[in-house]
């Protein structure tokens, strides 16, 4: 009698357990979805820690050389396009805002809003890369890309470049110091180029997330991929918020 009474409940419990484990987002090597989510979050934070160390090395090199060759770094920095850099700062902060809204939309299970926010994040990310393209193009035209074609003429004889008034016009650099501007531009391209690479990878992941979001993968309570990607995207935002003042705003002042 007791066995007959308990059997249906036992079968029901096993059915619920099986249903829980068989959800597509639940991997077999995790006991619960909560454990899986915590493991994924920990993995993302660990990855971001390695990214901090990676970018930290470049920031350290930048600060070291800036201290050694400050006149060259200041003169070279004054050749960067501040309006473009500021525009990209606004674009990236806006993309981070839309990404945060995307995380919220996934948590409250608003599928349409989530897709729209991810699309806006992607569009703003592409806009950032578009502005960066025109910045790089300008540096190419001025022969400020480190290598055999790098030119120091603008820094040694700034009077010959009146169309670029932000050059150290009142203090031309000596040729040996002007050569050190190449170090600045090497670090500029290394740091901003690596940042742009992270943006490209992020945009690729955004396309993948948008496809899955349209299927409804992240509006059924499974939001870990959106949350973890949000951490990645905000990290990219924060790196740029350090790059912009350090690279673009060294000793900016009106020339007399």
pLDDT digit string, tens, across residues 146-175: 988 888 888 887 766 666 655 554 577 888
Strand boundaries in the chain, DSSP class E: none
Contact status, residue 224 vs residue 30, Cβ threshold 8 Å: no
Least confident of 69-73, 158-162, 234-238: 158-162
pLDDT the model gives residue 147:
86
- Tokens 């690479």 belong to which residue? 197
Find the helix or strand (DSSP H, E) in which 44 lies.
Answer: helix 33-68
pLDDT the model gives residue 59:
93
Contact status, residue 178 vs residue 156, Cβ threshold 8 Å: yes
Residue 204 has pLDDT above 50, yes or no: yes
215-237 mean pLDDT? 87
Q: Which domains does the chain have, with CATH numbers?
A: 54-248 (1.20.120.80)
Contact status, residue 170 vs residue 255, Cβ threshold 8 Å: yes
Cβ atoms < 10 Å from Cβ of 206: 23
Q: Give the model's confidence band at 39: pLDDT under 50 very low, under 70 low, under 90 confident, else very high.
A: low
Q: Give the model's confidence band at 254: pLDDT under 50 very low, under 70 low, under 90 confident, else very high.
A: very low
Q: What is the DSSP letter of 219?
A: S
């Amino acid at each position: 009698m007791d066995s007959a009474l308990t059997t249906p409940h036992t079968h029901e419990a096993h059915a619920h357990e099986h249903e829980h484990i068989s959800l597509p987002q639940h991997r077999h090597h995790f006991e619960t979805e909560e454990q899986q989510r915590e493991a994924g979050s920990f993995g993302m934070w660990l990855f971001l820690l390695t990214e901090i160390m990676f970018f930290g090395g470049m920031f350290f090199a930048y600060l070291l050389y800036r201290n050694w060759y400050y006149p060259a770094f200041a003169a070279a920095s004054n050749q960067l396009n501040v309006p473009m850099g500021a525009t990209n700062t606004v674009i990236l902060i806006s993309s981070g805002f839309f990404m945060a809204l995307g995380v919220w939309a996934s948590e409250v299970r608003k599928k349409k809003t989530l897709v729209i926010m991810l699309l806006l994040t992607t569009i703003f990310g592409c806009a950032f890369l578009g502005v960066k393209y025109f910045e790089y193009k300008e540096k190419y035209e001025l022969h400020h890309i480190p290598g055999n074609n790098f030119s120091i003429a603008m820094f040694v004889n700034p009077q010959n470049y009146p169309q670029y008034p932000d050059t150290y016009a009142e203090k031309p650099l000596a040729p040996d110091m002007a050569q050190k501007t190449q170090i600045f531009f090497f670090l500029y391209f290394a740091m901003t180029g690596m940042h742009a690479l992270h943006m490209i990878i992020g945009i690729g992941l955004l396309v993948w997330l948008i496809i899955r979001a349209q299927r409804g993968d992240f509006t059924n309570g499974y939001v870990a991929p959106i949350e973890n990607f949000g951490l990645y995207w905000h990290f990219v935002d924060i790196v740029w918020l350090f790059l912009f003042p350090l690279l673009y705003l060294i000793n900016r002042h009106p020339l007399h």
